[in-house]
Structure 1
Amino acid sequence: MRFFELMIELYLEAKMTIAEQSRATWLELTFDEVPSLLRRMREDAESVLGAQDMRTGRITGSKERATLPYRVDAADDADELWSALVEFAREVEERTQNPAPRPVREFVRSGRLGPWALPSCTPREAFTAGQDVARYLKACAHQIAHDGAFNDAPDQTAALVRKMRNRYPNTPPPARRYLNRPCPTCGERGLHLAVAGDHLIVRCEECRDRWAFEEMFP
């Protein structure tokens, strides 16, 4: 009887490990989007206003003339995403005791209270800052997936990244993570991991078939 109980325990432990691995990889793929997103937002924010707006020099709804140096919506989106990332990274640092990267520590040392706007910077600098924070969060992904005390903070942060990704569809996608195995459907080696909403899936770039992560790694 004890043998079967041990087998059940091992089975449940294995299933939990797969679930945690799936969630951790889902988080990693989501945070992979951050650097290019911040760069795209900064590029869009710095884009020249339309010819008509430049001629009038007037903000919609305003009676005063004022030339805007940025596209306000893109700048606001960058600030919103950056603030959420800094807030989440601070929580991750507090719970895991893994030192946060320099861009996050600078905000903490400054004594600023959130929300934290993205500092004035070039698109390349925005990419680098996003890369630092994304690298940190990906390195902590397994701990985040394992620690249920984070509650819905990881999901809220990931949801914001996905929302911004949909809002800026021309953002270059991150490199795909391919699997070293043939596709069960077409036999080609085009399987790669992908995010589908709140789930991690495996997709074939050749035949377009797709599976839940747990189906490929039972």
Structure 2
Amino acid sequence: MSIPIVVVGVRIPIVVMGVSIPIVVVGMSIPIVVVGVSIPIVVMGVSIPIVVVGVMIPIVVMGVSIPIVVVGMSIPIVVVVVSIPIVVMGVSIPIVVVGVMIPILVMGVSIPIVVVGMSVPIVVMGVSIPIVVVGMRIPKVVVGMSVPIVVVGMSIPIVVVGMSVPIVFVGVSIPIVVMGVSIPIVVVGMIIPTVVVGMSVPIVVVRVNIHIVVVRLRKPIVVV
């Protein structure tokens, strides 16, 4: 699964369970591959290619100690001023990167991340992805009614507020805009439950592309 995310200037491509999650976060690139396990990482101009399999690998980067344990293990990482705790396949990966915290959950993987003020809680594959970006906070609220939908090869524009919308898609493109956040999604056979401000949107997909662009809050919740 490919889940590219853009968040204020930095790209952090991550591969989890065969899922690629490129993320842009304040001028830093951190490509990571977990489970099996190859973990090449570039932080502050520092390249850290790592191969881990249930083993602990303490590393020092930029005067920072990075003990790592993969596969049902803990991977605490500290890298220049910012903390990014991440859990992948039962593996905890707290990382410090440019004073920003970004909590995110992917495939049972917890990736808490915070980026410049705005919080965008999202649930993917039963994973919760609360994100703080660009001076706005979007609290996670799941209330209202349930709207189960089944679709095959078609586009579904949706506008929801305080509503739970479990959806099943197959070869469907789902562009979504929430609180100034654009989330175009292409779905084909895997489940991606997403929770965005008073709205729960579990989705079934396979080979998914999730591009998330965070911009300033201009309108109330709008899911298209």
TM-score between the two structures when normalised by the length of structure 2: 0.23
Higher strand proportion: 2
TM-score between the two structures when normalised by the length of structure 1: 0.23
Higher helix proportion: 1
